[in-house]
Structure 1
Amino acid sequence: MERLPTPPGERPDESDASPESAYTATATVNEQGIVTGWSEGARRLLGYVPSEVVGQTAARLLADDVGETARRDAAGRERWSGTVALRHRDGHRLELGLLAHRRTADDPVTEWLLVSAVVGKPRTPGSEALREWTFTQSPDILAIFDADLRLVRANTGMERALSLTEAEMLGLHLPEIAPYPVSNEAENKMRLALETGEPQYVEAYIRPTGVSPDRGWSTSLGPLKDPDGRVRAVCLAAHSRSAEYVARQQMLLLNEAGARIGTTLDIARTAQELADVAVPRLADFAAVDLLDLPQHGDQPPSAPPAGLITMCRTAVRSVLEGSPESLAAMGETTTYPALSPVAECLAQGRGALYEVADPTIARWAAQDPGAAWIREVGTHSVIVVPMRARGITLGVAFFSRHQRREPFEPDDLLLAEELTARAAVSIHNARRYTRERTTTMTLQRSLLPHTLPDQAALEIASRYLPAGTQAGVGGDWFDVIPLSGARVALVVGDVVGHGIRASATMGRLRTAVRTLADVELPPDELLTHLDDLVIHLSADEADMEGAAETAGGIGTTCLYAVYDPVSRRCTLARAGHPPPAVVTPDGAVYFLDVPAGPPLGLGGLPFETMETELPEGSLIALYTDGLLEPRHHDIDEALDKMFAALAHPAPTLDTVCDRVLTAMLTHRPDDDIALLIARTRVLHADRVAAWDLASDPAIVAQARKNATDQLAAWGLDDAVFITELMVSELVTNAIRYGRPPIQLRLIHEDSTLICEVFDSSNTAPHLRRARTFDEGGRGLLLVAQLAQRWGTRHLPIGKTIWAEQSLSGS
């Protein structure tokens, strides 16, 4: 209701209203100027009853012809005010102050609401008394300081806020009244107001005596001028904004929590981050207890247990040194009875706020000796919040106050619930990550070689480091595969991606490499077959997912190398993988210039083989690209560090591996690292014997004799019988089905004797079961029964049939 000054010439209807009363006359007029509403106040003012006015033009009520002028003035405006001359029903003229509002009804029809206040004889005190009462009784702080910035007036609000009377403050400067840094700032602003004549503002909050920092006032300082415009004093007005301040502080705390809670996937650290954020900003003490804290990522129960609840104290923070409120140390178990606040909140699934006099707290303190700290430290207010995420109860967060005098309020409970919810989501993600990582690690370790095979060609050491980031375990792998002829294959690969899919793909590829290695494929052909496999795996995954969600191994890199200790030659091929490093016995370090080749899964591109001779005692280092990840240094610096670590003499290869990792890793690796280091050995001429044989069945006896004599020279008399049978069968098979030239070779490793027969034919023998009356077909079956393992190795020209027998059981 708007009230305007009493219009001149007004004569209210004395028969209807006492001159002591005041009323409001209202009417509504549409856009066409037709009266659509008429109030009782309007009847009293002009004498017309509604039936005489409603539906009629408003112009007939005007004493002057100002309709068009008013219409033009009001056009396009939402409000209009001015003086209008009206004609009373009895004919006399009235000049009224009129306020008009444009409004739109629900139909919608636009109309104007006309309002005029009719004021009778004043019933309120004089304006001077009102102004004095306003100053002294305002709930806000009001004070006046003279030109010397000494207090001359203070209202009740300031007296109450500072617990001082006006008489006690008279003549003092503000810093002398309230000795806080903000008072000095306010006095400087008052001086500036005196000098400039412009209002000043203080953004900080004045903290009165006995009031906590979050209960203050924002302050404005206004110059007081005399009629001549000279500044004579300054008025200080401080408006209570404690609720706004608290809301602002809560918002800042939530923003801080978003940055500080859940920075890692470590469960205990996330719980501690919650406690650190809450103390001292929200509480004087905070603790986090988790249900069945997993050590291996086990899934917690979806509902809290009934009865006595046992949890693990995971995080603690207190404003008191040593956290005396926590009777349980970090990592120890805590128990809560069934009627405790913790058990109630877990059962209800929501937080609760308790005063220390609450019956629930009293009952808990009486039943549980572990709750004695509540009274010992003077706790007066408690908040308990269940930690839940995705329908799973993880534990409970506990907050209390004992040094801050203000008890917790409902807004504090909401804030505690929000902080706890954020921590619960992070802890749930950490549990899930831990569980998935454990599963992936278990899978990957089951697929990687547990022990390196015994063989005489290479001394080998290896290391595998999973990624230390949230990406999880990747698909890096390595393998050592003994081949025929005392040769050994080394393989290192890196599957694209992380997690279970990458580990599963890695297992498939490692199995495929072993299978292809067993059929004695050269490195370039092996990678070609592996490339086809990756393409098929990718197509199968795309069909299963309905879309190519994963690459199925596309982009996987691999390095495959075969070392022959007899010839000291190493044959290598790589598919997009970093080249191996070699350290010669004299300390020279270099990369082998192996043609790069495309990563696996692209298809249609060839792989090339490189062959080199390695001196005895050379080191060859195979690794995945995670070792050279240039995070804190460039790639050249990384290579220099690796070369220096490899070239430094070391007693064992394990020492070399550790030295390389120490030099290269200044941080937890962002990607998996597989490292395989081998030192070459050589089977010298005294361990290898070879004879060229004529393609004549009569030569078989001589071949047996040559083998017998050699075994006698090696002191392997116990192996003569089986070796004679193998030599006879293999040489006879080469003479009968193969082509010259034919060669017999014996290789004596530490615990293995290898018999090889070469011929230039490309036909491969096949093991078959001979029938009762067959005259042949039993020779190869006999070899297979006598040998530990046997097979055929194809060469560019010809083939070699070989058979190994173990000497450890002879």
Structure 2
Amino acid sequence: MPAHDEPLLTVDDHGRVVEWSVAAEDLFGRPAAHVLGRSVFDVVGATTTQGRSWRIGPLAPESRERTWGVWQERDDDGDGGMDGDENLPGLAEVILDAVFTQADVGLHFLDPQLRVVRVNPSAIGMRGIPLGDIIGLPATEAYAAMGVRIEESMLREVLVSGEPARDVLLRSRPPTDPEREHIFSVSIYRVRSRAGRTLGLVATTVDVSAREHAQARLRLLHRARELIGRTLDVERTAGELVDVTVPDFADSAIVALTDAVLQGRTPELSAHDDELLLRCAAAGSTGAGYPPPPTGSALLPELFGPKLPSTVTILPVSEPDGADADDTPYGPRLVAPLSARGQILGAVAFERRRGSEPFTPEDVDLAKGITTRAAISLENALRFTREHVVMTALQSWPSGQERQTQRAAEIAQRHHAGGSGAGSWFDALPLPGSRLALVVGKVENPGLSAVATMSRLRTAAQALTTLDLDPHELLARLHSTVLRLAREQKDAQGSTDEPTVHCTIAIHDPVSGRLDAARAGRSMFTIVRPDGTVDTAPLQEGPLLGEEGPPFASTSLVLPEGSTVCLASPAATRAQGPTRGGLAAALAHPDRGPQQMADDVERLLAPDRVLLVARTRHLPPDELAEWNVPPELQSARPAREQTQTRLQEWGLDVDPFSAELVVSELVTNAIRYGAPPITLRLIRGETTLTCEIDDAALTAPYPRHAKATDEGGRGLHICATLAKSWGVRFRDDGKTVWAVLDAQTAEPDAG
């Protein structure tokens, strides 16, 4: 065909106009903008083309889609044959006949009664089917026999309105390929005569199975990335893998994990040992066939082939023998390992029904993507499980502390676990003089660094409380510790995320009923008095540790016995509550015990918060002795006598010489270097005797190393030698020097 012999117009396999020449515009009187992309039957079907002859032939474009060109035949004298007397066929009939005989796409022509009039060999299910079996039958009946369900209402809508139905997807198992499901794209157009009479419908069908299956695999992979790994729980992650793949990828799926993974231990290296014990972590099926194994059951190695797979593998279909064939509905199998960073976590087995489409290389690639995502999520969940175990151990409250703190307060503690991080902690620390320190904190940055920071801060807080510092001074020291940890973390990891910490510290003295508290950040701090009065904001919020630094908000209160102090780590956001009204309603029941109050408050807390509830107590009179000491040196003797008398009354098995000597030295030191008023106090414990001396001076005593010829300077050295521990704590109006001696309650005489 000469290169200069350009066609008037070009149509594609679907009968749509793809090119419209200038000559076609002149001949038919229609611009290209009005016809491109439209069906050729709609464009020229009603145009008068009688008296003309046409030639149609295939073109060879660069694209893979086949197209046809249409030319007007010329007479010998070069005119267009406009004056011929023969009644030659029109353009629409020529194109229709050529397309029906040569097109690779399926074509169907239905009459106005929706009966099949003409079908080409490429139509749905027509390969190998005699045309006479469907010609003349209603469309719905003709194609139902081929496994194709066509909505008659859709056909009639196109017939009446003339609005084409494009790219309608139909699924079918053609008789020539019953083992595989095919997906066809169907487009339906109305055909009208030159006079405007409706002649019927023409439908084009294209097998788009490969395209749709590829898109379905992409959608499934995207869904797996969205749904797998939403939680940090190993078993729930395994269940998410089953939910994503059944039934969209397989009819059944079994996820097996090693014992180490299920127990939260470090998994084995990927040696793929045949003896590795696997247990079912999750399983699911479409309901037919063998029921899935129960969760936790040990699985046979044969489930995953001759040995544990090292890569995604398609297993051969095992054919059952004899009568058992009908009892085995599953066939194609695919197994994949679950491994990450060289560690074997488990394996997963996918299976389809017998007679279903076998797994393909494309399915292998899809399974790799899904199982890789699942393995990474399982590893994250396993790491969190191990970190959670560490966190729980770090957050645990030693059982021995409960007995030691009961004299100052009745304690109830809760940890509302959630799984988003491990940065909250609490402590109830016994202090000298039967005092009690309540500490609640939270590290802002979640993750493993938060666990490490939390444990180091908790250790620092426990060490600092032994220095008898007030809560504000304790927070200032912890602030310096947080800054140092941030510098170390930045130097070691190059991280720019510096940790910040919420922390509230309250120290209760059961002798005076005084509560000293300081607050950094927005940890919850509430006080409930015995009359039911609830103070949800006894102390304003302060700057976080690691940010601005001191001064921190602090206060000093005297609480009546039976008051309740409620401390909790803050929520991630203020919106997670609880509100002040809800908190007050939960706590406004002082007649209830701390355990019941802790239960009520815990229901209001967001996940990953810790709660500490303390019902304060005052020391009873039979455990406390207190005397005013005149500021005279001769006052040491009556102080020794009073101590001896009280020890006999209490029945404490303590060395009387040591007790009298410690009391004498403390009183003498206060008279010489302190300032009145001076008060001597003895506190009886289960296994200790605490001696305290108060005075109004702010000078700090310290042990001296006296020479052999010195007459004094040995008092604190003697106290440090005889006592179990000693120290000094300062108040706004003075100081207290204390010493603790070992003691036991004496058994009564048998006589």
* Per-residue Cα deviation, 1:118-149 (whole angstroms, up to 9, x for no partner): xxxxxxxx999998797468664433322322
Q: C-alpha distance in 2, partners of 1:181/1:590? A: 78
Distance 1:597 1:629, change over 3 A: closer
Tell me which residue corresponds to 1:754: 690
Tell me which residue corresponds to 1:50: none
Post-superposition shift, 1:205?
1.1
Tell me which residue corresponds to 1:332: 297
Q: 1:353 aligns with which of 314, 318, 336?
A: 314
Distance 1:165 1:605, change over 3 A: same
Q: C-alpha distance in 2, partners of 1:144/1:398? A: 47
Tell me which residue corresponds to 1:81: none
Tell me which residue corresponds to 2:49: none
Post-superposition shift, 1:300?
2.3
Q: Secondary structure at the match of 2:633?
A: coil
Q: 1:483 aligns with which of 431, 438, 441?
A: 431
Tell me which residue corresponds to 2:338: 387
1:517 aligns with 2:453: no
On the 8 A contact 1:462/1:657 being kept in 2, the answer is yes
Q: Secondary structure at the match of 2:118?
A: strand
Tell me which residue corresponds to 1:342: 305
Q: C-alpha distance in 1, partners of 2:98/2:549? A: 95
Distance 1:689 1:385, change over 3 A: closer
* Per-residue Cα deviation, 1:227-277 (whole angstroms, up to 9, x for no partner): 555432333332222222322322332233233322222222222322333
On the 8 A contact 1:622/1:675 being kept in 2, the answer is yes
TM-score scaled by length of structure 1: 0.72
Q: 2:720 aligns with which of 776, 784, 806?
A: 784
Post-superposition shift, 1:159?
8.4
**Amino acid of the structure 1 residue aligned with 2:345:** L
Q: C-alpha distance in 2, partners of 1:736/1:490? A: 36
1:630 aligns with 2:595: no
Post-superposition shift, 1:600?
2.1
On the 8 A contact 1:453/1:482 being kept in 2, the answer is no
**Amino acid of the structure 1 residue aligned with 2:386:** R
Post-superposition shift, 1:661?
0.7
* Per-residue Cα deviation, 1:450-495 (whole angstroms, up to 9, x for no partner): 73351465223242426523x4211x22222333433322222222
Tell me which residue corresponds to 2:374: 423
Post-superposition shift, 1:208?
5.8
On the 8 A contact 1:480/1:491 being kept in 2, the answer is yes
Tell me which residue corresponds to 2:210: 243
Tell me which residue corresponds to 2:535: 590
**Amino acid of the structure 2 residue aligned with 1:258:** R
Post-superposition shift, 1:747?
3.3
**Amino acid of the structure 1 residue aligned with 2:539:** V
Tell me which residue corresponds to 2:255: 288
The percent identity for this pair of structures is 35
1:550 aligns with 2:497: yes
Distance 1:381 1:455, change over 3 A: closer
Tell me which residue corresponds to 2:118: 153
Q: 1:177 aligns with which of 142, 156, 159?
A: 142
Q: Secondary structure at the match of 1:454?
A: helix
* Per-residue Cα deviation, 1:18-61 (whole angstroms, up to 9, x for no partner): xxxxxxxxxxxxxxxxxxxxxxxxxxxxxxxxxxxxxxxxxxxx
Q: C-alpha distance in 2, partners of 1:214/1:583? A: 71
On the 8 A contact 1:272/1:315 being kept in 2, the answer is yes
Q: C-alpha distance in 2, partners of 1:622/1:198? A: 70
Post-superposition shift, 1:585?
1.5
Q: C-alpha distance in 1, partners of 2:362/2:552? A: 68
Distance 1:447 1:511, change over 3 A: farther
1:565 aligns with 2:510: yes
TM-score scaled by length of structure 2: 0.77
1:575 aligns with 2:520: yes
Q: 2:443 aligns with which of 492, 495, 508?
A: 495
Q: Secondary structure at the match of 1:582?
A: strand
Q: C-alpha distance in 1, partners of 2:167/2:297? A: 50
Tell me which residue corresponds to 2:219: 252
Tell me which residue corresponds to 2:421: 472
Tell me which residue corresponds to 2:594: 653
**Amino acid of the structure 2 residue aligned with 1:178:** Y
Distance 1:221 1:179, change over 3 A: same
On the 8 A contact 1:142/1:155 being kept in 2, the answer is yes
Distance 1:782 1:549, change over 3 A: same
Distance 1:466 1:180, change over 3 A: farther
Q: C-alpha distance in 1, partners of 2:553/2:349? A: 65
Q: C-alpha distance in 1, partners of 2:733/2:452? A: 38
Post-superposition shift, 1:680?
1.7
On the 8 A contact 1:345/1:352 being kept in 2, the answer is no
Tell me which residue corresponds to 1:91: none
**Amino acid of the structure 2 residue aligned with 1:598:** P
Post-superposition shift, 1:676?
1.5
Post-superposition shift, 1:375?
8.2
On the 8 A contact 1:386/1:395 being kept in 2, the answer is yes
Q: C-alpha distance in 2, partners of 1:591/1:564? A: 21
Post-superposition shift, 1:377?
0.9
Post-superposition shift, 1:787?
2.8
Tell me which residue corresponds to 2:411: 461
**Amino acid of the structure 2 residue aligned with 1:414:** D
Tell me which residue corresponds to 1:86: none
Q: Secondary structure at the match of 2:404?
A: coil
Distance 1:181 1:601, change over 3 A: farther
Give the gaps of 5 or more residues in structure 1. Answer: 7-100, 104-125, 367-371
Distance 1:801 1:352, change over 3 A: closer
Q: C-alpha distance in 2, partners of 1:696/1:531? A: 44
Spell out the pairing of 1:761-800 with structure 2 (5 A cutoff). Answer: 761-768=697-704, 776-800=712-736
On the 8 A contact 1:178/1:208 being kept in 2, the answer is no
**Amino acid of the structure 2 residue aligned with 1:647:** A
Aligned residue-pair number: 662
Distance 1:138 1:580, change over 3 A: closer
**Amino acid of the structure 2 residue aligned with 1:529:** R
Q: Secondary structure at the match of 1:252?
A: helix
Q: Secondary structure at the match of 2:220?
A: helix
Q: 2:453 aligns with which of 488, 497, 505?
A: 505
Tell me which residue corresponds to 1:402: 353
Distance 1:383 1:642, change over 3 A: same
Q: C-alpha distance in 2, partners of 1:188/1:4? A: 48
**Amino acid of the structure 2 residue aligned with 1:706:** Q
On the 8 A contact 1:739/1:760 being kept in 2, the answer is yes
Tell me which residue corresponds to 1:616: 561
Distance 1:461 1:353, change over 3 A: same
Distance 1:784 1:318, change over 3 A: same
Q: C-alpha distance in 1, partners of 2:111/2:194? A: 17
On the 8 A contact 1:284/1:404 being kept in 2, the answer is no
Q: C-alpha distance in 2, partners of 1:493/1:308? A: 46
Distance 1:181 1:595, change over 3 A: farther
Q: C-alpha distance in 1, partners of 2:106/2:629? A: 117
Post-superposition shift, 1:438?
3.2
Q: 1:300 aligns with which of 267, 270, 274?
A: 267
* Per-residue Cα deviation, 1:331-357 (whole angstroms, up to 9, x for no partner): 2222326xx9634572xx33233442x
Q: Secondary structure at the match of 1:520?
A: coil
